[in-house]
Homo-oligomer: A and B are copies of this chain.
Amino acid sequence: MATQSSAAAVRLQCRSEKHTENTVGLAPGYVQCNLMVLPIEYAADFISLCERNPVPFALLATSRTTGDPHTLSDTRLIKAGAESGAGDSAVPLLDLRTDLPRYNVYSCGSLIDTPNNVKDYWTESHTAFIMGCSFSFDSALVAAGLPPRHVEAGCNVTMYTTTYKLHPAGIFTEGTMVVSMRPYKESDIPRVRAITGRFSRTHGEPVDWGWDALERLGIKNLEKPDFGDVVGVRREEGEVPVFWGCGATPSLVIKLAGDKIEGHVITHIPGFSLLVDMKDDEV
C-alpha cells in the first residue's frame, strides 16, 4: 500500500481490511494514536491512572458515549470534510472497532486474539481511551536536524520496563513505567529537551538521561530492551541514552490487573495505530 496523504483514508483502508499491516510512515504529519478500550466500570479508575501518571499515559480523548465507537470527547481529533471524502453522512468518519489495521484482545490479563477488527468483542459497555504517542515528537526531532536513530534505521524505537513505580489508581495498583530510548550527544540534550518538551500532551520532555540513569531506572542491560529494536548508543562519540515516558505502559498495567478486569480489553498493537485528523504540530 502506498503512503497515504490523509489519515481519514488510512482509517477507511483499515475498515475495508485493504490495509492490515503497521501504520509506520502512513499519512505523514498526522497524529498516530494508541488505543485502550475497557468495560465502562473500570473507566473512572483508568482516567484517574492517566491523570496521576500523565507522562507515560498521554490521554488525548475518550469515547463521548459509552458503547459508541464513532465519536470522541475531543472533536478536533476526527474532522468532517477531511480530504478523503469520508464526510459522506452514510459513512462514519470513525469506527474504533474497525479503523485500526489490527488489535490486541485481552481476557484476564492474557492476550487471546489479534483480529483485524473487534466487532465480535466490542459491547455496549465498552469505552475507548485515545492516547498520543512519541511518533509526534519524532517528526519534530527530524525537522530540527536531530533525527532519532530508530527513525534513521527504519526500525522500532527501543523500549525498557523500569523500576519506576506508577502512582496507583483504583484497581490499577500494579505497574511500573515503560520508557523509550533515543541516543543523543550530551551537548544536544538541551535542544532535545526543549523540542520534545513542547509536546506536553504526548509524553513531553525526557524523564531521565545519561549513563547514571540506567541505575535510577533499574535498566540492567541497554542491549536487551523489553520491547522494540536495539539501536546502539555510541559512547565513544559522546552519546548517552535519553529516556522518555512511553505508551507501552498502559498495556503493561492491563496485563498486571489480570482478573481484576471482567470482560474483554482491547488495545492497539504497537506500530498498528489509529490515524486521526489532527496534525503532529497541533497536539
Contacts and interface: CB of A to CB of B under 8 A. Distances in A.
Contacts of A197: 48, 169-170
- The 6 A-B residue pairs with the shortest CB-CB distance, nearest first, are A55-B167, A167-B207, A52-B55, A165-B216, A51-B200, A52-B204
26 contacts: A48-B197, A48-B200, A48-B204, A48-B205, A51-B54, A51-B200, A52-B54, A52-B55, A52-B200, A52-B204, A54-B54, A55-B167, A164-B165, A165-B208, A165-B216, A167-B207, A167-B245, A168-B205, A168-B206, A168-B207, A168-B208, A169-B204, A169-B205, A170-B193, A170-B197, A170-B205
Contacts of A207: 167-168
Nearest to A166: B207
Interface residues of A, number: 21
A260 to B, nearest CB: 13
Interface of A: 48, 51-52, 54-55, 164-165, 167-170, 193, 197, 200, 204-208, 216, 245
- Counted per complex, copies of this chain come to 2
Nearest to A170: B197
A206 B165 CA distance: 13
Contacts of A208: 165, 168
Contacts of A216: 165
A268 to B, nearest CB: 24
A193 B167 CA distance: 12
A55 B48 CA distance: 11
A157 to B, nearest CB: 19
Nearest to A217: B165
A206 B48 CA distance: 12
Contacts of A193: 170
Contacts of A170: 193, 197, 205
Contacts of A206: 168
A205 B55 CA distance: 18
Given A168-B205, A169-B205, 10 more contacts: A48-B197, A48-B200, A48-B205, A51-B200, A52-B200, A165-B208, A167-B207, A168-B206, A168-B207, A169-B204
